[in-house]
A and B are shown apart, each in its own frame.
Chain A
Amino acid sequence: MSGHSSFESNNAVIKWIEYRLPIFGFINDSLVVYPTPKNLNYWWNMGSLAGVMLMVQIITGIILAMHYTPHADMAFASTEHIMRDVNYGWLMRYMHANGGSMFFIVVYIHIFRGMYYGSYKSPRELLWWLGIIIFILMMATAFMGYVLPWGQMSFWGATVITNLFSAVPLVGDVIVSWLWGGYSVAQPTLNRFYSLHYLLPFAIFAVVFLHLWALHVHKSNNPLGIDIKGPQDTIPFHPYYTVKDLYGMGIFAIIFAWLLFFAPNLLGEPDNYIPANPLVTPTHIVPEWYFLPFYAILRAIPDKLGGVIAMFASLLILFVLPWLDTSKVRSARFRPVYKMLFWAFFIVCMGLGYLGAKPAEGIFVIFSRLGTALYFLFFLVLPFIGWFERPRKLPESISAAVLDDSGGGGGGAIEGAAAKAEDRG
Chain B
Amino acid sequence: MADSKGGDGHDPSRRDFLYVAAGGLGAVGVAGAVWPMIDQMNPSQDVLALSSIEVDLSGIAEGQSITVSWRGKPVFIRHRTAAEIAAAKAVSMDELPDPEGDEARAQKPEWLILVGVCTHLGCVPLGQQGEYNGWFCPCHGSHYDTSGRIRKGPAPLNLPVPDYVYLDDNNIKIG
Interface residues of A (CB under 8 A from B): 59, 63, 66-67, 81, 84-89, 91-92
Contacts and interface: CB of A to CB of B under 8 A. Distances in A.
Contacts of B83: none
A86 B45 CA distance: 6
Interface string B109-133: 0000000000000000000000000
B40 interface: yes
B39 A88 contact: yes
Contact of A63 (B40, B44, B47): B40
A66 B37 CA distance: 11
B45 A59 contact: no
9 contacts: A63-B37, A63-B40, A66-B40, A66-B41, A85-B44, A86-B45, A87-B44, A88-B39, A88-B40
Interface of B: 36-37, 39-42, 44-47
Given A59-B37, A87-B40, A92-B40, 20 more contacts: A63-B37, A63-B40, A67-B40, A81-B44, A81-B46, A84-B45, A84-B46, A85-B45, A85-B46, A85-B47, A86-B40, A86-B44, A86-B45, A87-B36, A87-B42, A87-B44, A88-B36, A91-B36, A92-B36, A92-B37
Contacts of B36: 87-88, 91-92
Q: Is the interface of B mostly helix, strand, loop or mixed?
A: helix
A66 B45 CA distance: 15
A244 to B, nearest CB: 16
A394 B40 CA distance: 55
Contacts of B41: 66
A245 B45 CA distance: 39
Contacts of B46: 81, 84-85
Nearest to B46: A85
Contacts of B44: 67, 81, 85-87, 89
A54 B164 CA distance: 49
Contacts of B40: 63, 66-67, 86-89, 92
A97 B41 CA distance: 20
A87 B39 contact: yes
B166 to A, nearest CB: 31
Nearest to B36: A88
The 4 lowest CB-CB distance pairs between A and B, nearest first, are A88-B36, A85-B44, A85-B46, A85-B45
A257 to B, nearest CB: 11
A249 to B, nearest CB: 12
Contacts of B45: 84-87
A87 B43 CA distance: 8
A69 B41 CA distance: 16
A85 B37 CA distance: 15
A254 to B, nearest CB: 12
A81 B45 CA distance: 9
B143 to A, nearest CB: 39
Contacts of A81: 44, 46
A59 B45 CA distance: 22
Nearest to A90: B36
A156 to B, nearest CB: 29
A148 to B, nearest CB: 17
B40, B41, B46, B47 — which one has the most chain A CB atoms within 10 A of its CB? B40
Nearest to B35: A88
A238 to B, nearest CB: 16
A403 to B, nearest CB: 24
Nearest to B26: A246
A59 B44 CA distance: 19
Contacts of A85: 44-47
Contacts of B37: 59, 63, 88, 92
Contacts of A89: 40, 44
Contacts of A67: 40, 44
Contacts of A92: 36-37, 40
A92 to B, nearest CB: 6
B44, B46, B47 — which one has the most chain A CB atoms within 10 A of its CB? B44
A91 B37 CA distance: 9
Contacts of A63: 37, 40
B1 to A, nearest CB: 14
A89 B46 CA distance: 12
A92 B41 CA distance: 12
